[in-house]
């Protein structure tokens, strides 16, 4: 009987520790989003719920060559230190990722379409990793968006950009 009581007592203690840990994580996430990192969280919401539409009077091939000049990326995922790399590059789509060989911090997809001599591209952040309720790599997301905008501007000085809510 003492063994059974000991096992039940141990199970209760383990259950209480698990509930306390879960509550601490939830409180940490809530406080980061609403108190300590409120600005970062609102920026995360803006970045992950927006689609940027770029238009330029240039062919896709020219824009892609400008992207190679303006977007700082490596050809393969780095071993340890995270960097932006091109995960996929096809005729109408480029997938950028920030990460290393172990994990991906965020994924951004840039899709192209062309009509006559105008190219339209849509850029979206489609996947991201959070720590404490806040997305990692917010500064790199903003840098990628700015670099894509600069590349389109280099291809066409009269380029257009719109932010559309997803």
Q: What is the pLDDT of residue 166?
A: 78
If residue 3 lies in a helix (H) or strand (E), which one and from where to where?
helix 2-31
Burial class (CB in 10 A: 0-12, 13-18, 19+), 106: buried
* Measured distance CA(61)–CA(50) in Å, rounded: 25
pLDDT at 24: 76
Query: What pLDDT does 38 receive?
Result: 67
pLDDT of residue 4: 82
CB atoms within 10 A of CB 89: 14
Q: Which of 96, 104, 55, 89 is nearest to 72 (CA)?
A: 96
Q: Where are the domains of the chain?
A: 1-36, 48-165
Cα–Cα distance measured from residue 119 to residue 57, given in angstroms and rounded to the nearest whole number: 6
Rounded Cα distance, 94 and 96, in Å = 6
Q: Tell which CATH architecture fits domain 48-165.
A: 2-Layer Sandwich (3.30)
- CA separation for the pair 109, 113 (Å, rounded): 13
What pLDDT was estimated at residue 25? Answer: 76
Spell out, as residue ranges, where the chain has pLDDT lower than 50.
none
DSSP assignment of 115-161 = ETTEEEEEEEEEEE-EETTEETTHHHHHHHHHHHHHHHHHH-TT-EE
In what side-by-side order are the strands of the sheet with 160-165?
83-89, 93-99, 104-115, 118-128, 50-56, 160-165
């Amino acid at each position: 009987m003492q063994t059974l009581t000991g096992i039940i007592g141990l199970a209760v203690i383990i259950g209480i520790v698990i509930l306390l840990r879960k509550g601490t994580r939830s409180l940490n996430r809530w406080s980061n989003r609403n108190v300590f990192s409120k600005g970062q969280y609102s920026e995360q919401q803006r970045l992950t719920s927006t689609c940027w539409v770029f238009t330029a009077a240039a062919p896709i091939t020219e824009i892609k060559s400008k992207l190679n000049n303006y977007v700082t990326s490596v050809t393969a995922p780095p071993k340890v230190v995270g960097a932006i790399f091109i995960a996929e590059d096809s005729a109408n789509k480029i997938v950028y990722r920030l990460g290393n060989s172990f994990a991906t911090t965020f994924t951004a997809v840039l899709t192209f379409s062309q009509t006559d001599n105008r190219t339209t591209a849509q850029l979206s952040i489609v996947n991201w990793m959070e720590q404490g309720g806040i997305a990692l790599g917010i500064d790199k997301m903003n840098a990628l968006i700015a670099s894509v905008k600069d590349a389109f501007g280099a291809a066409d000085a009269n380029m257009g950009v719109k932010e559309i809510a997803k």
